[in-house]
Amino acid sequence: MQKNYLILFFVLLFLSCKHADAPPPPAEINSFYKPVITADDRKTITPEEAKTYHVNTTYKYKYRTGNPGHYKYNYDVKGINTTGDSVFGNIIVQGKFGAGILIDSLNETEINTEWIAHGKLKALDKHGNEFHLIVK
């Protein structure tokens, strides 16, 4: 009887130590994909976006494109820079982030935006200058 258990033990030990061919690693999937929105996105509407173009005067956006959960909104904004000068412009936002153009008294500045509260955004230009904006 002990002999049978000993044989069974060695068979199990042998089978558990056998190395199977390891499958190749799965293709890398970046689950934290964040779509990049650029200032140029606000200038054109693709034919695909034109199919879902929507205007609603009740809300503050100029127009909306896309499908539920993946909408892009276009807003006119105004605000101030770090020195207190007034700026205004137009942005396009998808989710929490967006991009657009701000105009002050002298020039146009490309910005990237982030929602910080309802109707309020923080924006940065490529030089690191900060702007505080509200939706018009």
Q: What is the rounded distance in angstroms from the CA atom of residue 16 to the CA atom of residue 9?
A: 11
pLDDT digits (tens, 9 = 90+) for 54-113: 888 788 888 899 888 889 999 999 999 888 889 999 999 999 999 999 998 788 999 999
Q: Is the pTM of this model over 0.85?
A: no
Question: What is the C-alpha separation between 104 and 43, in angstroms, rounded?
Answer: 19
Q: How far is CA 62 from its chain centroid?
A: 20
